[in-house]
Structure 1
């Protein structure tokens, strides 16, 4: 079967979609050249291609070209000659390129998307993308990029909207390379080796809306990390090493609507930490080591969703949510909560879902979970479910016992559980599939 090539062809008004898998793919290309056909998409996978020579596709009109999972080490200067005004998408994933094929890509003036994921591309030391005025997305994930020069994106600063640099070896933000990329909307630098968000790390990015830095080694955020980045709405900082948020560190993100700080090591949320963040709607603090939330920590925010599961909180008071009247959903599951003070949630008129499951409450006063008539409170796997009148869910003012619940807590020695240890934190979500640096095989990144 290894020597066989399977091809499929589907014809459409705007061109054929041709997909070939196997070593004879290049022969199919040679035959297609003679037909002078419009090709909406051409896929040549697992064809053992090592090099793409000059004018490899001359005479063809290809809008999308996929050369994934080959062994490509070299792409000659004029490899895409004839496609300059036609080719819109180019994918060379899972190959053996050690650098961006600058000369080969030069002049692809209709190219919108370029995917070079899973190669062996090293540092971007020169102007890497030339004469591609319509380029919108650059995917460079799963390579060996540790440094990016100031001029790497020089010629595409006004067009590129999405840059993906996940699973590389960057140790700091490529600030100079990104500065004044006024069309950039999303920046992904997950699973690199960044340790600090320094002053001026992101500058003059007027359109940037999403920043993903999940899975780095970040322990410090400078209060002046961003400068003139007025539209940053979505910030993902999960799976880092943030143990403390410096005063004013979060206030710079004034436009932010969603912030993910899950799977860090914070032990306390100080008063006014998020105060003044007038657009913050969703805050994820799951799987830290938070023992205390100081009064006013979320004051003056329009928070709608607050996630605090898998922390070390032992009690809840009305002051915890002081100044956050718009909350709709709150999760405090998998903590050490034994006490919920009366009226802790009574002032949250919009709250409709409260998760207190997997805590240590042996009893709870009705006033402790008093809220709106439509408030649903989950208390599964608390010791209180073991009582004769135990219940699992409070729906409005109705206590509901669910006969399908396993009540695993009742099989433990919960009556003698007086020592509070932080619950075991769950593993972070599995990473997306990446590629092994030593092979062409796709595996889960480590």
Structure 2
């Protein structure tokens, strides 16, 4: 008798689950109680589906043809924790689209056609941890766009149309740890752009159009451990450009246009363990700047036009003494003078490093 009751309950539960699942989607129950996963990937959907199971926790809607997110589309699924909407054609998001989704932790909007985010569009998402907005067409950032996201830890914004970062752009994101702004067109950064990001550990500005870093830009980033500035147009760094990065462990400045580095530019980075300066226009650097980095383990200096004269002697001497790994030593070669061209820096003798009047 008990078996029959159990069987009838199971049949009833299955019927209810089927009834509350969109016809072209697949709904399955998670091992835990009262949690359904809804998979509508690549189903040709043109609109956000209705008739979703009220206990849905994971909603997969990637690679469909959804263009608009209307108000209250999540109201029927209050337990939703994860939504994947990547690679649709989303152009418009109603300011109340995500209302009520207070348990949502992951929202993936990668690869859509979003040009603008309405003010306070995420304000109900108090538990959101991960927000993916990469490969859209977002051109302007304002703090009000991120209102309410006090628990966000990871914000991905690569491959957008950003040209500048204004003051207080990310101020509400007090718990943010990872910020990816790579592959944009950023030319200008306000000195107060990163205000409020005291927990940030990783900042990626790779592949932008930065020519200068204003003094104090990173001053608030006391927790930052990795900064990526590769593939920009930086020709110089001022003494105060990197102020505040006392906790930094990895700094990447590859493939810029750096011609000169002030001897003390890295003076307040005692924890730096990896420094990448390859692919620039450096002809010489003061080797003494590296003596103030007790934790330095890897240094990349190749693909620079080294001028091997008396001005580079401190670098050569430091190379002889350091235990740090140098980007292959065989790749560090003189470009000038002619008699030393293609000679390895590590093989240079003191009497070869001459300065001519």
TM-score above 0.5, yes or no: yes
Contact 2:206–2:231 (CA under 8 A) maintained in structure 1: yes
Within 1, Cα distance between the matches of 2:102 and 2:170?
23
Cα shift at 1:354: 0.8
Deviations 1:71-109 (A, max 9, x none): xxxxxxxxx98735899xx9xxxxxxxxx4389969999
Per-residue deviation at 1:268? Answer: 2.5
Is structure 2 residue 279 aligned with structure 1 residue 363?
no
Residue equivalent to 1:372: 293
Distance 1:252 1:394 in 2: 45
The Cα RMSD (Å) is: 3.5
Instruction: Choose which of 305, 308, 311 in structure 2 pairs with 1:383.
Output: 305
Comparing 185-194 with 396-405, greater Cα deviation is found at: 396-405
What is the match of residue 145 of structure 2? 225
Residue pair 2:29, 2:36 contacting (<8 A) in 1 also? no
The residue aligned with 1:115 is 39
In structure 2, do the counterparts of structure 1 residues 395 and 140 end up closer, same or farther at CA, with 3 Å as the change threshold?
A: farther
CA distance 1:394–1:245, shift in 2 (3 Å): farther
Q: For residues 410 and 118 of structure 1, do their structure 2 counterparts lie closer, same or farther at Cα, with a shift above 3 Å needed? A: farther
Structure 1 residue 406, shift from structure 2 partner? 5.0
Which whole-Å CA distance do the structure 1 matches of 2:293 and 2:178 have between them?
25
Q: Secondary structure of the equivalent of 2:152?
A: coil
CA 1:201–1:82 in structure 2 vs 1: closer, same or farther (change >3 Å)?
A: closer
Residue 330 of structure 1 and its aligned partner are, at CA, apart by 0.5
Label 1:357 to 1:170 Cα distance change in 2 as closer, same or farther (>3 A). Answer: same
Matched-pair contact (CA < 8 Å) for 1:154–1:177: no
C-alpha change, 1:83 and 1:283, in structure 2 (3 Å) is same
Counterpart check, 1:347 vs 2:268: yes
For 2:155, what is the secondary structure of its paired residue?
strand
Q: State the Cα distance separating 1:222 from its structure 2 match.
A: 2.0
Uncovered stretches (5+) of structure 2, i.e. residues with no partner: 1-6, 339-357
Distance change in 2, residues 1:129/1:408 (3 Å): farther
CA-CA distance at 1:323 after TM superposition: 1.7
Counterpart-to-counterpart distance in 2, 1:384 and 1:103: 61
**C-alpha contact (below 8 Å) 1:127/1:151 kept by paired residues:** no
2:251 aligns to what? 330
Q: Distance in 1 between matches of 2:137 and 2:166?
A: 17
Alignment size in residue pairs: 320
- In structure 1, runs of 5+ residues without a counterpart are 1-57, 62-79, 91-99, 414-446
Matched-pair contact (CA < 8 Å) for 1:84–1:107 = no
| 3-state SS in 2 of match to 1:354 | strand
Shift of 1:255: 1.6
CA contact (8 A) 1:374 1:395 kept: no
Q: Is the 8 A contact 1:171 1:193 kept in 2?
A: yes
Is 1:266 aligned to 2:186, yes or no? yes
Deviates more, 1:159-168 or 1:114-123: 114-123
Distance change (3 Å), C-alpha of 1:154 and 1:275? closer
| Normalised TM-score (structure 2) | 0.79
After superposition, the C-alpha distances for 1:234-288 in whole angstroms (9 at most, x for unaligned) are 0000000000112211222222111000000011222122133111111000000
> Structure 2 CA distance, aligned partners of 1:365 and 1:287?
27
* Compared CA separation, residues 116 and 394, structure 1 to 2 (3 A): farther
SS in 2 for 1:163: strand
Partners of 1:331 and 1:184 in 2: how far apart?
34
* Aligned with 2:77 (options 156, 169, 189): 156
How far apart, CA to CA, are the structure 2 residues paired with 1:385 and 1:271?
35
User: Of residues 277, 280, 293 in structure 1, which corresponds to 2:213?
Assistant: 293
Aligned to 2:76, the other structure's residue is in SS state helix
CA distance, structure 1, for counterparts of residue 196 and residue 320 of structure 2:
33
Match of 1:210 in 2: 130
> Residues 395 and 173 of structure 1: is their aligned pair in 2 closer, same or farther, counting only changes over 3 Å?
farther
Report if the CA contact (8 A) 2:162-2:184 is conserved. Answer: yes
Please give the alpha-carbon distance, in whole angstroms, between the structure 2 residues aligned to 1:339 and 1:106: 60
- Per the alignment, residue 129 of structure 1 pairs with 52
Q: Give, in whole Å, the separation in 2 of the partners of 1:353 and 1:127.
A: 51
Structure 2: distance between partners of 1:229 and 1:331: 29
Q: Larger helix proportion, structure 1 or 2?
A: 2
1:83 aligns to what SS in structure 2?
A: helix
1:182 pairs with 87, 99, 102, which one? 102
**Aligned counterparts of 1:345 and 1:395: Cα–Cα separation in 2:** 21
Partner of 1:253: 173
1:352 to 1:281, Cα distance in 2 relative to 1, 3 A: same
Asked whether the 8 Å contact 1:377–1:395 carries over to 2, the reply is no
